[in-house]
A and B are shown apart, each in its own frame.
Chain A
């Protein structure tokens, strides 16, 4: 169960890193970003149909998400069943708060993911009253820029990124531990440092485009 959690989590780590790299192409301008978005749909052609690679990847991600969430809720329910009488005094403050936020943080990320997909993939919601719907129709770049010119969209994303960073920091280290890769103090330090690095790089990398768009550096 925990191996399922760790391996699916590992897939997500690679996915968010790739996703972040793609987002940074916003800085290369409209053409580069739109070409990249289009290229994602034509990888593997003509062996795969249009968007075939993308759909394979999406199916893998959806399966991984189901496995990840299933094992999380399984462990959660097992934990709550393992101590029905609670302590009157709890020393929980000594517990790392990052590990405490894994469960509710994970649920928050799931909710964010639903919103994120609706906004940018499924419906392509235009939240910016200053931009005409037609202009964002076929340019992902225009959609991204129009969205992040709205302050509350940026706030939602920054909150989600904070949750993602915390989740990754504990998750990467925890995954390494579950896979049995942290058998010496040195390996443990390396795993912790890697976890911090991945969490920081991801959070900052994802936060840059929305902030630069909001403050008008990219438009």
Chain B
């Protein structure tokens, strides 16, 4: 496959960035997307140029580290993570534009690497369950109805990659937020902190400079883990309940 890559190059956080074209003539359709970038980087290093910086870790689609905006879509055209994407998805494509996840809350550190620690701070603001340490309690001591367990699991598959905020026209991370609130709110262990959780996480979300949700749905389309839009409805419902209780 012959493909022209247009890749966002930016030397540092405050440096100006621009799209740079790279002509690739030897792309195999069986390569994964990140392998294709690895090969490009080997060539760049051999030529004495700076390689393209990008994030990746597990390359199994479960860690949430990778995340590139490919032809305007976070994680590219398939419903999966960037690392699970293969070049065969681009057959018939002459040019591929690769950009970092864009949101002011995600500053570009270098090339395609962005700082996603705002999502960590949102978790620290309430995306957890406080438990006493010690030996683990007997699993059957707390029964969870299957529908609740299923819904909690559907939300818990969120890997926190930030694609939702990158896809949102308002740069809102509400799908991420909704996934965490739904995941913990569906389980008995999440109840004691439920009301405070939604308010604290939402305040942190806004403080990080993410935009507000206007129910467009681009996030759910982009989500590599297919988190449904109803987690945002759940978030809104929990928020309404906490506001009524005066939190």
Contacts and interface: CB of A to CB of B under 8 A. Distances in A.
Interface stretch (A12-20, A81-89, A150-158, A203-211): A81-89
B72 A91 contact: yes
B170 A79 contact: yes
Given A95-B169, A180-B236, 13 more contacts: A79-B171, A82-B104, A85-B17, A88-B8, A88-B19, A88-B97, A94-B218, A99-B216, A174-B214, A180-B240, A182-B233, A183-B234, A187-B230
Interface string B206-222: 00011111111110010
A88 B229 CA distance: 27
A92 interface: yes
Nearest to A90: B72
A78 B230 contact: no
Contact of A82 (B211, B234, B235, B239): B211
A119 interface: no
Nearest to B74: A91
B69 interface: yes
Interface string A175-212: 01111111111011000000000000000000000000
A66 interface: no
Contacts of A78: 170, 211-212
Contact of B214 (A102, A179, A188): A102
B99 interface: yes
A88 B235 CA distance: 32
A86 B19 CA distance: 13
B71 A91 contact: yes
Contacts of A173: 215
A174 B215 CA distance: 6
Contact of B232 (A75, A96, A177): A177
10 contacts: A75-B170, A78-B170, A81-B211, A82-B211, A87-B99, A94-B221, A95-B216, A178-B215, A179-B237, A181-B233
Nearest to B208: A82
B52 interface: no
A86 B169 contact: no
Contact of A177 (B19, B99, B229, B239): B229
A83 B236 contact: no
B172 interface: yes
Contacts of B236: 2, 177-180
A102 to B, nearest CB: 7
A83 to B, nearest CB: 4
Q: Report the interface size class on chain B.
A: 35 or more
A1 interface: yes
A11 interface: no
Contacts of B170: 75, 78-79, 82
A67 to B, nearest CB: 15
Contacts of B239: 180
Nearest to B210: A82
**Which of A78, A180, A184, A187 has most B Cβ within 10 Å?**
A180
A179 B232 CA distance: 10
Interface in B70-100: 71-73, 97, 99
B233 A81 contact: no
B218 A95 contact: yes
Interface string A92-129: 10111001101000000000000000000000000000
A3 to B, nearest CB: 7
A83 B211 contact: yes
- Top 3 A-B pairs, shortest CB-CB distance: A180-B237, A82-B211, A79-B170
B179 to A, nearest CB: 13
Nearest to A176: B233
B177 interface: no
B21 to A, nearest CB: 12
A150 B243 CA distance: 51
A178 B214 CA distance: 9
Interface string A160-173: 00000000001001
